[in-house]
Amino acid sequence: MAVREIVVIEHPVLRRKAKKIVKITAEHRKLIEDMIETMREAPGVGLAAPQLAVGERLIVVEWADEPEHEDDPPKKKKLYVVINPEIVRASEEMVQGTEGCLSVPGWVGDVLRHEAVTVRGLNRHGEKIKIEADGWLARIFQHEIDHLDGVLYIDKLVSKESLRRVEAGTEEAGDLRAEAIG
Ligand code: ZN
């Protein structure tokens, strides 16, 4: 496994529609391992292949739901690897949240997302999977799948004014770590 460089906003691969994966190769398996390691090292809660300059439809997401009660122990993180992910159902309800992106370092902005989505795709063994996600997990999937269509969260801001700079080392920068989705 190796940490790869995350490309940032000027890179054209971030603006292209990524290609569907027809056959999962050894190269894809290596890419998946590298994506997981790069996401964890960043740190982020998701990563899309175009962020590593690979124009193919593949995402990784790792997230633990908030415990139901404040005193409960933290829930275990769950790792999702999804090849050719597709949102097949989305709730009518939309929720606003503050997002950052590892490919747009130093900024956060407010975006409306579906509160819940159903994602279909393939796992790393090529088996069909279906994921029901709500809350922040649903937001992560929408953010990552947008990356596969060349869309960045800054295209979807509730207002231009909601985009704000976050200086490294400040308290808000600390929060940003949780908000930098991937
Ligand atoms: Zn992103």
Q: Which residue has the higher pLDDT, 140 or 69?
A: 140
Work out the angle at residue 77's Cα, subtended by the Cα atoms of residues 71 and 80, and round it to the nearest 5 degrees.
Answer: 150
Catalytic residue, from 56, 62, 99, 144: name it.
Answer: 144
Distance 3 CA to ligand 1 centre (A): 17
Distance 147 CA to ligand 1 centre (A): 7
Q: pLDDT band at residue 164, thresholds of 50, 70 and 90?
A: very high
Residue 111 structure tokens = 């975006």
- pLDDT tens readout for residues 86-140: 999 999 999 999 999 999 999 999 999 999 999 999 999 999 999 999 999 999 9
Closest CA to 35 of 46, 27, 26: 46
Mean pLDDT of 173-177: 57
Asked: is 12-176 a CATH 3.90.45.10 domain? The reply is yes
Query: Residue 36 pLDDT more than 90?
Result: yes
Q: pLDDT band at residue 168, thresholds of 50, 70 and 90?
A: low
Distance 73 CA to ligand 1 centre (A): 29
Q: Can 161 be counted among the known catalytic residues? A: no
Distance 71 CA to ligand 1 centre (A): 31
Around 116, how many Cα atoms within 13 Å sit in the side-chain half-sphere?
A: 8
Which residue ranges make up each domain of the chain? 12-176
Distance 145 CA to ligand 1 centre (A): 9
